[in-house]
Structure 1
């Protein structure tokens, strides 16, 4: 059953990471380069073609957050009802480093996605400007694409953490079994001598 649980958590982490990447790439591709300025007497009103950029950006950020949440759960999940103390988990330096890198990269990716989405939404909502030379720009080109790759990197770091936890679990339970046999053997020998 433990293999099944671990496979499900690993697959879910990968799925949400790839989903976040794809949604952000599609948002980048669907984003119009600029709106159409309609000049009035003393204002410019920007009209933007209907596009799903803002919705895709929100969904991408949510998928990246889900990826991180499932990735973190997969690190601490008691597979087969056998938990590992945090001290033992983070006593393994490589896991400690990758776990904190995964958190940092996730925060960066989600922040970039939210920033690009919020910028695009603000351009659509605040579309009346008093500057008659205003050209009706949208969010900077490449922001969604950059966020997509950072979110994909974050999901890969969570998957590395997931694999490292498997190694730590194996080592921890091997040590527990060997320590238990040594204690059990010594205790029974001492009991027989009495």
Structure 2
């Protein structure tokens, strides 16, 4: 059934999206601040920042990959031929609500993916290029809140993709006329033998 296949797609879309959200939150909480890094100053005045080991770059990378997988599966679910019945993008575009939520979902996905990649790259750069000529304050780290903001944007994107999937099911029902077929099939299943006309009784009034 189309609803069963759509439900499977919903689970496959939601799972990596939710995991990406969780990984983003964990990355935000585990990211060390600049005051936790050890500053070593050489005789020439060069400062080397030694950051504590943490899984932040790996978590950010994995979250970005999972979010991309979730969005890719979501796009496939929009045009998937449920029950072997394919519907064109032109017919799907007739649904204003579906088009609106697809645009919003893509926008949220691009913002979330950009924030995750930006925070991950910044954190990795600070660890690989940790030699500085002079640092007035603490050792630099990725801006606080990037991973957390990206995580919530990823969750919003996943929820919007699920709404798009529900709207696709409705659009397909309107296009193929599932409800009319169900009603027609119900009435065609009733045979004439099953229909018993009401028995009318005639009562002669007493004089």
- Is residue 2:61 matched to residue 1:65? no
Separation (CA, whole Å) in 2 of partners of 1:37 and 1:159: 47
From 85, 88, 106, the counterpart of 1:85: 88
2:79 is matched with: 76
Deviation, 1:85, is 1.2
1:33 is matched with: 33
From 53, 56, 59, the counterpart of 1:53: 56
Equivalent residue of 2:142, what SS?
coil
Q: Over the residues paired in the alignment, what is the CA RMSD in angstroms?
A: 1.7
Separation (CA, whole Å) in 2 of partners of 1:114 and 1:57: 7
Provide TM-score, normalisation by structure 2: 0.82
Q: Would the alpha carbon gap of residues 132 and 147 (structure 1) be closer, same or farther in structure 2, given more than 3 Å must change?
A: closer
Separation (CA, whole Å) in 1 of partners of 2:145 and 2:135: 27
Separation (CA, whole Å) in 1 of partners of 2:4 and 2:95: 24
Separation (CA, whole Å) in 1 of partners of 2:69 and 2:12: 9
2:197 is matched with: none
Give the conservation status (yes or no) of the 8 Å contact 1:17–1:64: yes
Deviation, 1:3, is 3.2
The structure with more helix, counted as a fraction of residues: 1
2:10 is matched with: 10
From 118, 121, 140, the counterpart of 2:121: 118
2:23 is matched with: 23
Give the conservation status (yes or no) of the 8 Å contact 1:12–1:70: yes
Q: How many residues align?
A: 179
Give the conservation status (yes or no) of the 8 Å contact 1:37–1:134: no
Deviation, 1:138, is 1.1
Give the conservation status (yes or no) of the 8 Å contact 2:20–2:63: yes
Give the conservation status (yes or no) of the 8 Å contact 2:3–2:169: no
- Is residue 2:100 matched to residue 1:97? yes
1:188 is matched with: none
